[in-house]
Homo-oligomer: A and B are copies of this chain.
Amino acid sequence: MKKSIQIGLLGLGTVGTGVARMLMENMEILVARVGVPLKLKYIADIDLERDRGLQLDEFLLTSNAFEVVDDPEVDIVVEMIGGEGIARTLILKALENGKQVVTANKALLAKHGNQLFKNAMDNGADLAYEASVGGCMPIIKTLRESLVGNRIQSMTGILNGTCNYILSKITDEGIEFDAALAKAKANGYAEADPTLDVEGFDTAHKLAILTSLGYGMEINFDDIYIEGISKITPLDIAFAGQFGYRIKLLAITKAGDNTVEARVHPAMIPFDNLLSNVNSTLNAITVTADAVGDILLYGHGAGMMPTASAVIGDIVDIARNLLMNANGRVPLMSYQMDHVKQVPVTPIRDITTHYYFRFFAQDKPGVLSTISGVLGQHGISIKSVNQKGRKTEGSVPVVMLSHLAKEEDVQNALAEIRVLDVVSRAPMLIRIEDDNYEE
């Protein structure tokens, strides 16, 4: 049996630093759990001068990551570089060299996961990725190992801390999106360019991984519908509250007969849904499956140490496999490769759900019937209307909640309403996710 496990760490950014720190500070409990030391042999980064508050002189430092993946002594390569370029090349090279790989690279897995998983399987290697979705929450392990006897029916997640922080700020303080984003930046919860987070792409990367894994299918990332939170206003959040809802950016996937829904957009969820109480930068995910009903995981979805915790969990899993010569023990997508299916994603225009509409309309007789008339012509019936609110530039906000409607009909109706004389500004549409919605 091996006397130690040798680790090569690629990338000393936030999470990479957390991984190095945890391997140093908590080695005693890791040895007690694994039985042999996990030795951090190499650290590779293009900038090794920057101070990370770590004593690095006991490790081999290199700016050449290929040196690490080519070293025959390295058992596990931990890819913490990110992005779809050099990270992908290094992972492929590591697999080719017979190494086990841990990554947190959701963008890479969302777009090239199918191929990377095949490469790993062909090499009999483990490619672990718990940290790619939900930070410290063990959602990958739960899907791959715990819920294996279940048919997964749907998953709903709050998977981006930046967006959840911003929406929480708008909700709690009644401020506009831009002001909330500024606060997120000031607190280090948003990047200088926040597009990837606030426009929903990061959430979609994670949703792609969950959808593949939950249903044992390959997914084309471009088939996922993605809508961010930058249009959400305090007015809509206040209206949502009046109807008993909170607005969250959700990753949603639902299994149909021979299709799946996979979409990312702001949605209204009722107060009694635990997800509506997940605030600030925290993440959570609900999995609905035939045997368990609903199960929810909650925790920090990002940050140095929570994400490092997931990486360390993966390292230990792989170390335990290495000590037993059992790599490849759990199929990477939970399903055996020859059982992985091709399932089409339902285009957004074909989904049916409940809708919240907010218009700015002239405050005069007949306007309401004009708007609801257009909706009716497209087969959309209205459950309730709320017209109270402040007058702004001669218009008042009019809010409507629909009965079950088809997205395509909704979009066609809104296109007509948008150009009505009595309506100022573009209409707002927010989808409602409420299992107990009264028709």
| A residues neighboring B (CB under 8 Å) | 18, 22, 26, 29-30, 32-35, 130, 136-138, 141-142, 145-151, 216, 272, 274, 277-278, 289-300, 305-306, 308-310, 312-313, 315-317, 320-321, 323-326, 328-331, 334-336, 339
Contacts and interface: CB of A to CB of B under 8 A. Distances in A.
Contacts of A26: 149-151, 290-291
A324 B329 contact: yes
Contact of A295 (B29, B145, B298): B298
B326 A136 contact: no
A364 to B, nearest CB: 44
- Minimum-distance CB pairs A-B, first 9: A149-B312, A32-B339, A326-B326, A295-B299, A324-B326, A138-B146, A136-B292, A291-B309, A296-B298
Nearest to A316: B148
Contact of A297 (B145, B296, B306, B315): B296
A295 B138 CA distance: 10
Contacts of A293: 136, 299-300, 305-306
A230 to B, nearest CB: 28
A294 B299 contact: yes
Contact of A22 (B33, B149, B325, B329): B149
A334 B278 CA distance: 30
B291 A33 contact: no
A328 to B, nearest CB: 8
A145 B150 contact: no
Contacts of A290: 26, 305
26 contacts: A22-B149, A26-B290, A26-B291, A30-B149, A32-B335, A136-B293, A136-B295, A138-B138, A138-B146, A145-B313, A145-B316, A147-B313, A149-B309, A149-B312, A150-B309, A290-B305, A291-B308, A293-B299, A293-B305, A295-B298, A295-B300, A297-B297, A298-B298, A323-B329, A324-B329, A326-B329
A255 to B, nearest CB: 12
Nearest to A19: B149
A326 B335 contact: no
A30 B335 CA distance: 9
A142 to B, nearest CB: 5
Given A29-B149, A33-B331, 16 more contacts: A18-B291, A29-B150, A32-B335, A33-B334, A145-B316, A147-B309, A148-B312, A148-B313, A148-B316, A150-B309, A292-B300, A293-B299, A295-B298, A296-B299, A298-B298, A324-B329
A306 B290 CA distance: 9
Contacts of A330: 320
A428 B218 CA distance: 59
A149 B26 CA distance: 7
A2 to B, nearest CB: 14
A390 B63 CA distance: 75
A309 B141 CA distance: 15
A313 B146 contact: yes
A336 B34 CA distance: 7
B148 A142 contact: no
Contacts of A317: 145
A312 B317 CA distance: 20
Contact of A216 (B32, B306, B312): B32
Nearest to A21: B291
B329 A306 contact: no
Nearest to A336: B35
A324 B326 CA distance: 6
Nearest to A312: B149
Contact of A291 (B306, B316, B321): B306
A53 to B, nearest CB: 16
A305 B292 contact: yes
Contacts of A297: 295-298
